[in-house]
Amino acid sequence: MQDLFQVSAFVWFTAATAVYVVVLTYNNLRASAQLARTSLLEREELRARTAEIMARIQSEQERTELSWNGFRKFEIAEKQPEADGSIFSFYLKPHDSRPLPPFRPGQFLTFRLHLPDETKPLIRCYSLSDSPKTDYYRVSIKKVPPPRDKPELPPGRSSSFFHDHLEKGDILDVKAPSGHFFLDTSVQTPIVLIGGGVGLTPVLSMLNAVVDSASKREVWFFLGVRNSIEHPMKEHLESLARENENLHLCICYSNPTENCVEGRDYQHGGHVGVDLMKERLKSNNYEFYFCGPPPMMNALDEQLKAWGVPDERINYEAFGPATVKRLKEPQEPGSAQQAFTVTFTKSEKSVAWDPEVGSLLDFAEDQGIAIDSGCRAGNCGTCLTAIQSGEVEYVGTPGEMPERGSCLVCLSVPKSDLKLDA
């Protein structure tokens, strides 16, 4: 009996030990497999991050190597009407046939135009409207009509020159791409791109760049136009939306005609606004990029902030001075409010600074003092003016900080009494 007890105790002990060993081994194996998986994931992540950084360094290097100073000659390789012909796209090839630097989607080109009957060249900026290519750039330009309340005035000089005079084969002077409004294509953050009218150009460049890079990042593209007659790049946008599941297109017509079909031509009747975004987006957790007419920009800026979108996720480009003026706050609001005197020495005029006006450029223009300007956003350098005495402060970040002794008047305000060589 005792033997039987001993044998069964031995069997139980052996079996329990075997089970323990099996469980222990299994757990160990599971733990090491887990570890291997984790480190594999970590290694993959590290590899992806390294590849990202390398790609960034490489494109930064290419940008620096292939970029140019001053103006370079470009030939119009193609001129193509968009929508009703109120916008024309210009495909520009470098006259020297050398490869082009990879610009950042959202940036713009600065043109120096020699208009017939004008002695001084005209400087204007136009956003690149396609993704970066090595052999051509594209800009899409809307012909600016006279103001509604002054139809007797001539239409926009540069935009009319592009539409009415420039043709395939013509040569243009162009500065290298620049600008701070661009998309970082090396990250995968979900984005909302919003264009109003011809303000679609920089955000279209961003969209095309995302699609061309085969990125699967979530993209919402809102476009506000009046109706299908004025709807630029319609087929292109529709085909991108069909082919890319990560792209959500929302075309808004503020004034649809009877031929416009909701669901086919457009997705929303009305303006682009944050109420619409609240209906369509899962949350406000996106990076927002927008460009359009001043009322749309101001409304979006206010509404996005009210929705709780942090400032650093709100990015915009202004095509005109009014928008820059209203949206940009001085960096140190107190200092720009003091009573300074601005003296324009060449014009022999001394005036008390009015902080309501915006920038020194706007202030000079209000005084009837003409200072050449281009982008009015501190990037093209056209409004660089010598400071004879005093100091300025910047109300935004210039593309390149000017040397001491001069300032970009489009983006600065006085910090003391000031004498400018203008």
Ligand X SMILES: Cc1cc2nc3c(=O)[nH]c(=O)nc-3n(C[C@H](O)[C@H](O)[C@H](O)COP(=O)(O)OP(=O)(O)OC[C@H]3O[C@@H](n4cnc5c(N)ncnc54)[C@H](O)[C@@H]3O)c2cc1C
Q: Which stretch binds ligand X (CB under 6 A): 5-13, 47-55, 120-128, 364-372?
A: 120-128
Q: Which stretch binds ligand X (CB under 6 A): 38-46, 119-127, 205-213, 330-338?
A: 119-127
Give me the least distance between CB of 109 and ligand X, in Å please: 9
Nearer to ligand X, 140 or 315 (CB): 140
Give me the least distance between CB of 357 and ligand X, in Å please: 17
Positions 134 through 173 that interact with ligand X (CB under 6 A): 139-142, 144, 146-147, 153-159
* Strand 418-420, strand 384-389: pairing: antiparallel
Phi/psi of residue 250, nearest 5 degrees? -135, 100
Nearer to ligand X, 82 or 218 (CB): 82
CA nearest 71: which of 50, 37, 46, 96?
A: 96
Q: How many CB atoms lie within 10 A of CB 104?
A: 21
Order of strands, edge to edge, in the sheet holding 349-352?
349-352, 341-344, 418-420, 384-389, 406-408
Does the footprint of ligand X cover residue 422 (CB under 6 A)?
Answer: no
Q: What three-state secondary structure class fits 72?
A: strand
Give me the least distance between CB of 130 and ligand X, in Å please: 11
Distance in angstroms (rounded) separating the CA atoms of residues 277 and 314: 14
- Could you say which of 104, 124, 175, 231 contacts ligand X (CB under 6 A)? 124
Give me the least distance between CB of 118 and ligand X, in Å please: 11
Positions 194 through 213 that interact with ligand X (CB under 6 A): 198, 201
| Contact between 410 and 361 (Cβ < 8 Å) | yes
Strand runs (DSSP E) across 244-363, as ranges?
247-253, 268-269, 287-291, 314-317, 341-344, 349-352
Distance in angstroms (rounded) separating the CA atoms of residues 341 and 318: 29
Give me the least distance between CB of 164 and ligand X, in Å please: 11
Positions 306 through 345 that interact with ligand X (CB under 6 A): 317, 319
Helices (H), 258-416: 274-280, 294-306, 321-327, 360-366
Distance in angstroms (rounded) separating the CA atoms of residues 59 and 132: 11
Nearer to ligand X, 195 or 256 (CB): 195
Q: How many CB atoms lie within 10 A of CB 38?
A: 10
Nearer to ligand X, 301 or 317 (CB): 317
Nearer to ligand X, 220 or 319 (CB): 319
Count the site residues for ligand X by CB under 6 A. 26
Give me the least distance between CB of 98 and ligand X, in Å please: 24
Nearer to ligand X, 139 or 219 (CB): 139
Give me the least distance between CB of 160 and ligand X, in Å please: 6
Query: In the stretch 93-112, what mask flags binding to ligand X with x, by CB under 6 A?
Result: ---------------x----
Nearer to ligand X, 103 or 340 (CB): 103
Give me the least distance between CB of 375 and ligand X, in Å please: 4
Give me the least distance between CB of 217 and ligand X, in Å please: 24
Q: The tokens of 142 are what? A: 């809307």
CA nearest 100: which of 136, 69, 75?
A: 136
Tokens 């009305």 -> residue? 270
Nearer to ligand X, 160 or 213 (CB): 160
Positions 374 through 393 that interact with ligand X (CB under 6 A): 375-377
Distance in angstroms (rounded) separating the CA atoms of residues 160 and 148: 17
**CA contacts within 13 A on the Cβ side of 115:** 17
Which residue(s) pair with 408 in the sheet?
384
Nearer to ligand X, 108 or 286 (CB): 108
Positions 48 through 77 that interact with ligand X (CB under 6 A): none
Nearer to ligand X, 99 or 147 (CB): 147
Dihedral of the alpha carbons of 188, 246, 287, 359, in degrees to the nearest 10: 110
Which residue's C-beta sits nearest to ligand X? 156
Quote the distance between the C-alpha of residue 53 and its chain's center. Answer: 21
Q: The tokens of 176 are what? A: 């290298």
| Contact between 362 and 376 (Cβ < 8 Å) | no
Give me the least distance between CB of 257 and ligand X, in Å please: 23
Q: Which residues bind ligand X (CB under 6 A)?
A: 108, 124-127, 139-142, 144, 146-147, 153-159, 198, 201, 317, 319, 375-377
